[in-house]
Amino acid sequence: MPTIEDVAKLAGLSPATISRVINNHPYVSQEKKDIVAKAMKELGYVPNSNAQRLRRQKTETIAVLIQRIANPFFSQLVESMDIIADRNNYKLLICQTNNDKEKELKYLNLLKTKQIDAVIFASIENEWSIVEGFLKYGPIIFCNDFAETAPVPIVCLDQYKGSYIGTKHLIDRGYKRLSYCGGSKATCLSRDRRAGFMAAVKEAGLNVSDQWLFKDALTIDDGKQILREIASMDNRPDAIFTGSDEVAAGLITEAKRHGITVPNDLGVLGFDDQPIAELVEPGITTIHQPVRKIGIKAMDVMIDILVSKKKLEHQFIQLPFHLVVRESTR
């Protein structure tokens, strides 16, 4: 591979001038620019990025931390982020933590070792107190899930309101014995979502049996499993709030096998409004999250921080939800 030195020799100039041409520095005569361009072309020269990175102390790469890329919520989020990143000549490094704290730390270390310029958390495993220390190596922001006390921008949805609206819908439709499926851990996201549910329930003066509260519900199979548990109860709920359309789809599919009809015997509320929501039968009533918008917004914020070297500051950027009514609620 030819180096800048080779180009310099062929062009009869110094490496410094070549570099100036590459980085279109002012103060290079048109004449030399042409000579250099010709020499570069002749040799098929391309600058070595690692040398540039070492010298410039920048990688033009942003890491996005997610649980798993095969989760459609994350894959859509990442897709939209990538579009914005690419447009600004940044590369995206997708980091799957798989709910593993150690892996998350391993990825955060890329910031220390200068392999990435910044980190976007779309899901978080470790406590903020642990992550905090990495702030001095580069900007960190949150998107979707977050750590509340972090002094950084947080692009998210008003989860409390979202689940409040959804729960309210169930109540308005006359369901009285509400069940709840929550996400994996004690994250801010699941906490807010649960609080919204509880607020609506309390407001309506309903009782929720502890038996009806499920945790760690994430996948289609989790949904099926939960339905089986419900089917075996003496005292069944008449509606269920789920944390994702996948869980809702699993519930609905399994309900058919157990002769439980949706929405009459059991109302089902999804979350996200994934494509799947309108394909299953009955279609899933769900809370629409503007996934792509979140991704775009978060990346916009990050790019802005990187190019204008803004200081990070605590800031909530909330995007709106809305309810999509289909047939899984009566």
Partner DNA sequence: GATGGTACTGCAATCGTTTTCATAACTTAT
Partner DNA sequence: ATAAGTTATGAAAACGATTGCAGTACCATC
Q: Find which of a second copy, DNA, none residue 19 binds, CB within 5 to 8 Å per kind.
A: DNA
Q: Which of 51, 120, 129 is nearest to 90 (CA)?
A: 120
Which residues share a beta bridge with 157?
319
Six token digits for residue 197: 């549910």
> Is the Cβ of residue 10 or residue 262 nearer to a second copy in the bound state?
262
Residue 35: how many CB atoms within 10 A of its CB?
Answer: 19
CA 208 – CA 228 distance, rounded (Å): 19
Backbone angles phi, psi at 116, to 5 degrees: -140, 160
Task: Show the binding pattern over residues 250-289: x = contacts DNA (CB under 7 A), - = does not.
Answer: ----------------------------------------
Touching a second copy, residues 263-302 (CB under 8 A): 275-276, 278-281
Cα maximum dimension of the chain: 89
Q: What is the per-residue DSSP string for 126-193?
A: S-HHHHGGGGGGS-EEEESB--TT-SSEEEEE-HHHHHHHHHHHHHHTT--SEEEE--SSS-HHHHHH
CA 48 – CA 64 distance, rounded (Å): 25
Task: Give min distance, CB of 285 to a second copy, in A.
Answer: 16
Piece in contact with DNA (CB under 7 A), picked from 26-34, 182-190, 263-271, 311-319: 26-34
> Is the Cβ of residue 96 or residue 123 nearer to a second copy in the bound state?
96
| Residue located via tokens 């997610």 | 66
Is the separation of the CB atoms in 248 and 268 below 8 Å? yes
For residue 249, give Cα distances in angstroms to 73, 171, 177, 330: 15, 21, 20, 16
Length of the chain: 330
Q: Find the helix packing angle between 15-22 and 4-11, rounded to 10°.
A: 110
Touching a second copy, residues 188-227 (CB under 8 A): 220
Backbone angles phi, psi at 137, to 5 degrees: -95, -10
Task: Give min distance, CB of 111 to DNA, in A.
Answer: 14
Touching DNA, residues 52-91 (CB under 7 A): 52, 54-57
Is the separation of the CB atoms in 176 and 206 below 8 Å? yes
* Candidate list 4, 120, 170, 249; residue touching a second copy; CB under 8 A: 249
> Is the Cβ of residue 29 or residue 129 nearer to DNA in the bound state?
29
Is the separation of the CB atoms in 104 and 124 below 8 Å? yes
Touching DNA, residues 96-125 (CB under 7 A): none
* Total number of residues that touch DNA (CB under 7 A): 32
> Is the Cβ of residue 193 or residue 297 nearer to a second copy in the bound state?
297
Task: Give min distance, CB of 153 to a second copy, in A.
Answer: 24
Q: Find the helix packing angle between 30-43 and 15-22, rounded to 10°.
A: 90
Q: Find which of a second copy, DNA, none residue 79 binds, CB within 5 to 8 Å per kind.
A: a second copy
Task: Give min distance, CB of 140 to DNA, in A.
Answer: 21
54 binds a second copy (CB under 8 A): yes
72 binds a second copy (CB under 8 A): yes
16 binds DNA (CB under 7 A): yes
* Candidate list 9, 10, 24, 26; residue touching DNA; CB under 7 A: 26
Task: Show the binding pattern over residues 29-58: x = contacts DNA (CB under 7 A), - = does not.
Answer: xxxx------------xxxx--xx-xxxx-
Where do contacts with DNA occur on this chain (CB under 7 A)? Answer: 1, 3-5, 12-20, 22-23, 26-32, 45-48, 51-52, 54-57
